[in-house]
């Protein structure tokens, strides 16, 4: 029923857009169907994207944790099927991205859903749901990311899958069309730790927990064939009412792979005989800082991000550590064999895919490496960091919690709207005395954006 209502609403909005063209308005197809009134006060567009994936999992049959059980997660799936509505009226803009592939929970399909307005030359304010300003990979469109998955310093890694949030988001950018502060970017966010859809999104009950965030970025060089980006992000998330904060990656070697957490703090009081290492004290908070450095030099692209997230449990047991720290860094390098340059998006201060220079398209090869570690693992505790599939052998202890993976990818850009992707992932979960898990995966994607 909810799915039918959602499709009906989108159809009605699409009909309203196209109906406007019959009343002396103009319609065009520039990145989607666009409708604009003759006086320019009303603009609307209808677009979308389809990302259809195949994942082949190659579990580590020699793993200490019997990870072969993850093999049945392979196969075909729609990663994203977006219907996108955007436009403006009287200077106010709106955007709604709805992922209709989420049939199990239609309400959870909302991604970007906000109203925005410019404040003269002093930036833009968004009200609603979007991504807080953090990380190059986190802010890059999923149409443009180099691999099928974002890196481990983005929301799918060190931020524990806390991606979209509801709140107030301010962005200030000065692209190189200005005479001062060329290529400076700044943003702040104040948000609730929830995403539209269900009462338990991201493991956090809506309205029960808040966060705030700031990001500064500067591009000292920004030309069509060469650019350099530097940036830093600060985020502070505070859960409430029994909510959970975590770090790790739900996609540590492929989307249909297993979920691996390096830390998970929950805001509930433990029983007298309960686990003293997690779950004690009040609701947790996490402070995260990530540095960014990237650049394009003709067909060569290099990107590095690194940071740490400190998790704290107020009123923690005095006999146990009250703070744990997760370190993470990610490196990406790519080269366009057909001569293109990865573009710089000045509005988001991140990268974007190129426009092919040739009628036959563009070809990119890429390599990546991601690493994440919980460096304050509390003793022999097997709840904070443990294998996602299987269990450690009796009598062994976890004395290390390292997660890493290497990626090798090929991207073929047929044209600005169609792309084929092929990635190979090789992961390593290192739990010290408890052993290793080294799974592999092959991801393939066909993507169309309209």
Radius of gyration of the CA atoms of the chain, in A = 23
| CB distance 351 to 294 below 8 Å | yes
Residue 4 φ then ψ, to 5°: -65, -40
Q: Which residues touch 12 (CB under 8 Å, ≥6 apart)? A: none
**pLDDT for res 245:** 83
Which region, left, alpha or beta, applies to residue 65 given φ > 0 means left and ψ of -120 to 50 means alpha? alpha
Question: Across the 450 residues of the chain, what is the mean pLDDT of every consecutive 10-residue run?
Answer: 48 46 40 76 91 90 75 82 93 93 66 92 92 94 95 91 93 60 87 74 57 96 95 93 77 67 63 41 84 98 96 63 84 98 94 95 98 77 70 81 94 97 94 88 95
Tally of domains in the chain: 1
pLDDT (0 to 100) of residue 27: 38
CA-CA distance, 19 to 35, in Å (whole number)?
9
Supply the pLDDT for residue 381: 53
Report the half-sphere exposure of 57 (CA within 13 A, side-chain side). Answer: 23
- Give just the sign of the alpha carbon dihedral 166, 169, 175, 177: positive
Q: Record the tokens describing residue 66, joined without a space.
A: 């019997």
Decide if 227 contacts 185 (C-beta within 8 A). no
CA atoms in the 13 A half-sphere facing the CB of 25: 21
- Structure-block tokens of residue 415: 């044209």
Give the model's pLDDT for residue 152. Answer: 94
* 244: exposed, middle or buried (Cβ count in 10 Å: 0-12, 13-18, 19+): buried
Q: Tokens 């209808």 correspond to what residue?
A: 46
pLDDT at 294: 98
User: CA–CA separation, 316 vs 382, rounded Å?
Assistant: 19
DSSP 288: E
pLDDT at 357: 96
Return all residues near 338 (Cβ < 8 A) that are at least 6 apart. 299, 356, 357, 358, 361, 362, 363
The single-letter DSSP state of residue 146 is S
Domain extent, residue 328, equals: 2-449
Q: How far is CA 176 from its chain centroid?
A: 27
The C-alpha atoms of residue 180 and residue 172 are separated, in whole angstroms, by 13
> Full-prediction pTM beyond 0.85?
yes
Half-sphere exposure of residue 205: CA atoms within 13 angstroms, side-chain side = 8
Strand segments, DSSP code E, in 10-147 are 26-29, 33-36, 42-58, 75-89, 92-99, 110-118, 124-130
pLDDT at 69: 60
- Report d(CA 373, CA 236) in Å as an integer: 19
> Distance between CA 254 and CA 442 in Å, rounded?
8
Catalogue the E-assigned strands of 193-298.
Answer: 209-222, 226-239, 244-249, 260-266, 285-297
Provide the 3-class DSSP secondary structure of residue 25: coil
For residue 104, what pLDDT is reported? Answer: 55
Whether the Cβ atoms of residue 296 and residue 146 lie closer than 8 Å to each other:
no
List, as one string, the DSSP characters of 324-365: EEEEEEEEEEEEETT----EEETTTTEEEPPPPSSTT-EEEE
CATH code of 107's domain: 2.40.160.10
pLDDT for the residue 12: 47
pLDDT computed for residue 215 by the predictor: 98
């Amino acid at each position: 029923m909810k799915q039918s209502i959602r499709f009906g609403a989108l159809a009605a909005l699409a009909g309203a857009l196209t109906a406007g063209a019959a009343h002396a308005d103009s319609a065009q197809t520039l990145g989607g169907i666009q409708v604009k009134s003759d006086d320019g006060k009303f603009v609307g567009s209808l677009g979308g994207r389809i990302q259809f994936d195949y994942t082949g999992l190659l579990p580590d049959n020699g793993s200490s944790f019997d990870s072969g059980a993850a093999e049945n997660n392979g196969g075909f799936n729609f990663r994203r099927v977006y219907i996108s509505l955007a436009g403006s009226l009287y200077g106010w803009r709106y955007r709604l991205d709805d992922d209709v592939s989420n049939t199990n929970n239609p309400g959870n399909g909302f991604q970007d859903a906000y109203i925005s307005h410019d404040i003269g030359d002093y930036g833009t304010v968004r009200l609603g749901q979007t991504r807080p300003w953090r990380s190059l990979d986190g802010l890059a469109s999923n149409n443009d990311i180099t691999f099928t998955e974002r890196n481990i310093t983005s929301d799918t890694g060190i931020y524990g899958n806390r991606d979209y949030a509801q709140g107030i988001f301010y962005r200030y950018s000065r692209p190189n069309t200005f005479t001062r502060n060329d290529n400076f970017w700044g943003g702040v966010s104040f948000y609730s730790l929830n995403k539209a859809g269900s009462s338990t999104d991201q493991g956090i009950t809506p309205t029960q927990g808040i966060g705030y965030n700031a990001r500064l970025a500067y591009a000292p060089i920004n030309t069509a064939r060469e650019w350099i980006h530097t940036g830093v992000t600060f985020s502070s998330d505070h859960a409430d009412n029994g909510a959970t904060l975590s770090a790790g990656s739900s996609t540590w070697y492929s989307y249909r792979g297993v979920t691996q957490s390096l830390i998970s703090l929950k805001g509930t009081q433990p029983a007298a005989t309960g686990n003293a290492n997690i779950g004690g004290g009040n609701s947790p908070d996490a402070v995260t800082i990530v540095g960014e450095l990237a650049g394009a030099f003709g067909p060569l692209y290099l990107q590095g991000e690194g940071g740490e997230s400190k998790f704290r449990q107020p009123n923690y047991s005095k006999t146990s550590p009250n703070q744990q720290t997760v370190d993470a860094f990610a490196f990406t390098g790519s080269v366009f064999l057909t001569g293109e340059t990865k573009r710089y998006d000045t509005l988001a201060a991140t990268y974007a895919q190129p426009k092919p220079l040739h009628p036959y398209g563009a070809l990119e090869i890429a390599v990546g490496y991601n690493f994440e570690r919980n460096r304050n693992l509390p003793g022999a505790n097997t709840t904070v960091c443990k294998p996602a599939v299987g269990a450690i052998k009796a009598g062994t202890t976890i004395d290390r919690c390292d997660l890493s993976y290497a990626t090798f990818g090929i991207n073929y850009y047929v044209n600005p709207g169609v792309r084929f992707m092929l990635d190979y992932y090789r992961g390593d979960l290192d739990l010290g005395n408890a052993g290793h898990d080294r799974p592999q995966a092959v991801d393939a994607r066909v993507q169309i954006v309209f």
